Amino acid sequence: MLRACVLWTILMACVIFSDACLATTFKDVQIGLRVVDFLVNPPLQRSSVAVIFDSRSRDSREDAENIQTWLSSGVGGAKTSLSPVLVDIRDLDGTQGIRVGFVATATESGYDAILAFARRNGAVIISAELSCVRIGKCTVGVASAPRVEVIVNREVALDSGVNFTEAFRMMVTEY
């Protein structure tokens, strides 16, 4: 009975505060960084990584700040160390030379700009919102719960010039 009440409370919190339940987690960032390790041509150590967010959304800004903090703290397990830079979706046109991007939650209004950024910079774009990958706007979707899931949009990767190792491609789902 107690377990059912706790589960019901959590589910209701997710319904009422849905953006908080969909925010990027520390585990999502860890998985995303490991994805970068499987690039055929990975970025150099201490390269910049764009943490893409929508400044008009408080949830998006908070999620981006969390991602930035985790990336700055040197998320364990990744071979590549990246230096995070917050980038508003409205500033993507002027952003160049960045080959990795993490997308914060609540950025749907900027999906087209994110895709254009990926193509222009040859960047891998990673999101914890799997819908971004499924509709062809992000390169990689990662989810750590309820189970680990990594999805690659093959078309976005090809259009952006992003190539993954064969070992990685055998471990993930490609669209």
Digit-coded pLDDT (tens) for 68-102: 999 998 765 556 678 999 999 999 999 999 999 99
**142 contact partners, CB below 8 Å, separation of at least 6:** 28, 31, 32, 35, 126, 127, 128, 149, 150, 151
Contact 163, 40 (CB under 8 A): yes
Domain boundaries, the chain: 22-174
Class of domain 22-174: alpha beta
57 DSSP 8-state letter: -
Cα gap 130→147, rounded to integer Å: 13
The structure tokens listed for 50 are: 């764009």
Total-model pTM: 0.85
Considering Cα of 74, then 105, then 102, then 95, what sign does the dihedral take?
negative
pLDDT tens profile 124-162: 999 999 999 999 999 999 999 999 999 999 999 999 999
User: Per-residue DSSP letters for 91-117?
Assistant: GGGG--S--EEEEPSS-GGGHHHHHHH
- Cβ atoms within 10 Å of 3's Cβ, excluding its own: 7
